[in-house]
Structure 1
Amino acid sequence: MSSIQDRGASSPQLLRRANRQALLQHALATRSFTAADAMAATGLTRATVLGVCAELEGAGWLHEVSAEREEGVVQRGRPARHYALRARAAVLVGVDAGQHTLSARVADLYGHELAASRCAAHGELDGADAELGAAAAEERLDGVRSLVEDVLERAGASALPRLLTVVGVPAPVDPAGHSPAGGSAYWSAMNPGFVDALEGAVVVENDANLAVLAEHALAVTAGKAAEATEGGATDHLAALLMGERFGAGLIVDGRLLRGADGGAGEMRFLDGVLGDSRGADGVAALARRWSLEGIAAGRPSPVLGSIHASRLTAEDVFVASREGDPLAREVLSRIGGRLARIAAILSSLLGVEKVVVAGAIATAIEPVLEHSRSELPEISAPPFPELAASSLGRDVVVRGAIELALARLREDPLSLLGPES
């Protein structure tokens, strides 16, 4: 047990840290402020506010800015000093480490994008070959490192402190940033130790979780803009990433659900529920598989039948459907039915009010959603979840990564800036 003298000696340090934390949190929440503004927001005295602002200004985190004058208002006396966060004192980095594509974004301390970059992911994944898997993991790590350096250079931020890097991966992630083995070599290949291998403070999170954070932040912003009228944010939201695999990010009661080892939202249960050994296949995989099965069975398909099987993509199926190809229309109808069942499960089990289909496929998914909406009343009971396509496109995961980085910064800025900042 520490002595009274020890506790007394540490109290000024703890108080100084608390005061700095309060001022930084206020600065992160506003564009500029006066001492009076900060006093009202934090409860600190004027002398304390001015002293801490001076310290943070000297450390490079705050700077004095010109006050905006209201038109027609005559200024009397000495104008109050206005402070603001030095937005580019450091940067935040978000990464979407997808299976086939890597993307990254750099943002300032307010979350404004400074630069973005994208490249193909390399490395052959083969869980049966340990040597090949290790080589693929190293190539994946090198790819992300190179991409981050590239996007920092594009932002002119290579020399700036990197406060936090958030990486999204298509695998469950535990609180320490690692993916469980879980019988799936794919998970360890998708997350080959990013939390330990990348420079600085790193958070690794499931990509669908980041997608739902991005969608929720967008909904909150829209709700505020509409003064929280009907159609604004919901605290019961699911985001479905529907590329090669279905993955769900879940916000229930306003909180992100992670589960044991980060396994909440994994859709492997669909194998049993749907009676399909590949029940968790996403839109891209389903479109290819069901189209090729239909062609093999002799189903009429003048558009898809003219495309070599090795080159057939989900985009081809969507285009063929718009051109009236009967097989393509049937495939999209089946995908709509599967999506309706997934939405019904999420609504019934978790009380989800809205299901957002996210990812690159979202821009073309509306015909599928129309079928899903029509099928929901046939397979489920009201209330039915709202089904919507994301407006964030292929950037949804990297946007969510920046949202999580901002949330961590706003919650505890000193943990990232350092105790002596």
Structure 2
Amino acid sequence: MDGTTASSTQLLRQINSEALLRFALQEQVFTAGEAMAATGLTRATVLGVCDGLVHAGWLEEVGDESDAGRSNKGRPARRYRLREAAGVVVGLDAGESRLTTLVADLRGRELGKRCQRIDSHVLGRAGRLAAAAELIGRTLEDAGCDAGDVMLTVVGVPAPVDAAGMSPGGGEFWQLMNSGFTAGLPGEVMVENDANLAALAEQAHEPSANVATLLSGERFGAGLIVDGRLLRGRQGGAGEMRFLDVFDNKLVSDEGGSDGLGALARTWARAGVHAYGGATSLRQISEGDISAEDVFRAAREGDPFARDIIGRLGERLARITVALASLLDIERVVIAGGISGAIEPVLERARGLLPTDSGLPLPRIVASTLGAEAVVQGAVESALIRIKSEPAGFLPRAARAGASASPTPA
């Protein structure tokens, strides 16, 4: 066999293996016939590829209880499933003040989850990386796994991230948030903008071709899906709300720039609670301890000062929604993050302020149902998308442990 023929045969084997792996990653238990129907491969090819994937550690052959006791009825169908021990993925939401990590199997089933409060400005880059590595290690232990089981770790950071996982060098805060995670976490590591990951989580939860997911806690960031594709931009800056810093700092005073709705609720309440002329229950809380949750709770109870803040937040969100709709023609704006469960009064105010004569239908404004887990769920979703799209780029645990198996078997 000449080199050209050998190369072509090897490429064909890899293509067949990838096709069958993609099918296996989406199925529970499957027969060779079902794999034939899904991939278009012949029975002999399917059986050969499955045998190779079993040997490599990707699949395992399973019996069928319905075949028990069968005699003279032909050979029972061979059945396969993804081997649970093939590997796991890790999602990490590396926020400014909180780390959340989630370990999942290759079908996305949660195996372990942990959260930890941090002060990034005290820890610095090295401290953030060390804290993340330790938290992931403990979560893997909870799941009965170790670092050798991890195929891919996806990290969400509150900073723009380019295709190489790097953030623009001009921002000190961005460099702190993107703390060199690719060098210190288990498995292959991908770093992504946190709002983009939240958008992927929302897309998996409720698919939409044109949607903006606004991650709004301490800072505003948007994950933008337009015509079914996630927008990134040249340096990963698509969805950064820096225009708010320009407008608010130069054109409108005391509007908060790109601070998130949660941060603004807290900041405006603390700044105005004692100057407010009427009665407010927020004065019962020490000024420095007032949280966004306190403001939302007080507003629900009818507190006039808190309701004024809700109104200002709604006006701000309405302006942002109109800007996004005008530029991107989106159909839905999703408010994600830890405050999403309490944000409905703000959304009601924003909806009431949207113009009705814009010429185009304006987007629906809704709260995410994923809460504070939107980013880490999106990180796991991103990891699974990557593995399903490029399965030959990853090795199951057995192969990574030094077995002689190949991920592209004959």
Q: TM-score with structure 2 length normalisation?
A: 0.90
Q: Distance in 1 between matches of 2:356 and 2:26?
A: 47
Deviations 1:182-225 (A, max 9, x none): 3x211000011112332320110000000010001001xxxxxx
Once the two structures are TM-superposed, the CA of residue 64 in structure 1 deviates from its matched residue by 1.4
Q: Distance in 2 between matches of 1:13 and 1:288?
A: 60
Equivalent residue in structure 2 for 1:216, among 196, 199, 203? 203
1:132-152, Cα deviation, whole Å (9 max, x unpaired): xxx611110001000110110
Secondary structure of 1:107 counterpart: strand
Corresponding residue of 1:363: 341
Please name the residue that 1:420 is paired with: 406
Q: What residue identity is the alignment partner of 1:347?
A: A
Cα deviation, residue 170, structure 1? 0.4
Aligned to 1:150: 138
Q: Report matched runs for 1:189-268 at 5 Å.
A: 189-219=176-206, 233-268=207-242
Q: Greater shift after overlay, 277-286 or 348-357?
A: 277-286
Q: Matched residues, percent identical?
A: 53
Q: Which moved more, 1:265-274 or 1:145-154?
A: 265-274
Aligned partner of 1:307 among 285, 305, 313: 285
Task: Report the Cα distance in structure 1 between the residues aligned to 2:60 and 2:198, rounded to whole angstroms.
Answer: 34
Worse-superposed segment, 249-258 or 276-285: 276-285
1:315-354 map, 5 Å:
315-354=293-332
Q: What amino acid does structure 2 have at the position aligned with 1:82?
A: R
**TM-aligned CA deviation for residue 167 of structure 1:** 0.3
User: Could you list the runs of 4 or more consecutive aligned residues of structure 1 that deviate by over 3 angstroms after TM superposition?
Assistant: 66-70, 296-299, 378-382
SS in 1 for 2:85: coil
* Amino acid aligned to 1:271: D
User: Equivalent residue of 2:86, what SS?
Assistant: coil
Q: Is the 8 A contact 2:334 2:367 kept in 1?
A: yes
> Could you tell me which residue of structure 2 aligns to residue 287 of structure 1?
265
The amino acid that maps onto 2:262 is A
Identify the residue that residue 132 of structure 1 maps to in structure 2. none
**Is the contact made by 1:178 and 1:195 (CA closer than 8 Å) also made in structure 2?**
no
Structure 1 residue 415 displacement after superposition: 0.5
Q: After superposition, what is the alpha-carbon deviation per residue over 1:264-293, rounded to whole angstroms, capped at 9, x for unaligned? A: 000010133453473211112211222233
Counterpart of 2:209, as a letter, is D
SS in 2 for 1:88: helix
Structure 1 residue runs of 5 or longer lacking an equivalent are: 126-134, 220-232
Do 1:211 and 1:358's aligned partners in 2 also have CA atoms closer than 8 Å?
A: yes
SS class of match (2:15): helix
Q: CA, structure 1 residues 44+290, in 2 after alignment: closer, same or farther (shift >3 Å)?
A: same
Structure 1 stretch displaced more, 337-346 or 319-328? 319-328
Which residues of structure 2 form unaligned runs of 5+?
Answer: 397-404
Cα deviations across residues 9-67 of structure 1 (Å, max 9, x unaligned)? 32222222122111111111222222222222222222121111111111221111233
Displacement of 1:361: 0.1
Give yes or no for the alignment of 1:12 onto 2:4: no
Distance 1:339 1:62, change over 3 A: same
The offset of 1:160, in angstroms, is 4.7
Q: Which has the higher contact order (CA 8 A, sep 6+)?
A: 2
Q: Distance in 2 between matches of 1:379 and 1:260?
A: 34
**How far is 1:417 from its partner?**
2.0
CA–CA distance in structure 1, aligned partners of residues 365 and 87 of structure 2: 38
**Which AA in structure 2 matches 1:420?**
S
The DSSP-based 3-state class of the residue aligned with 1:80 is coil
Aligned residues: 393
Q: CA RMSD in A?
A: 2.2
Q: 2:163 aligns with which of 149, 170, 175?
A: 175
Is the partner of 1:328 in helix, strand or coil? Answer: helix
Tell me if structure 2 keeps the 8 A contact 1:89–1:160.
no
Q: Equivalent residue for 2:106? A: 109
Q: Which residue of 1 aligns with 2:401?
A: none
Query: Helix, strand or coil for the counterpart of 2:335?
Result: strand
CA, structure 1 residues 361+68, in 2 after alignment: closer, same or farther (shift >3 Å)? farther
CA distance in 2 between partners of 1:26 and 1:68 (Å):
23
- SS where residue 334 of structure 2 aligns? strand
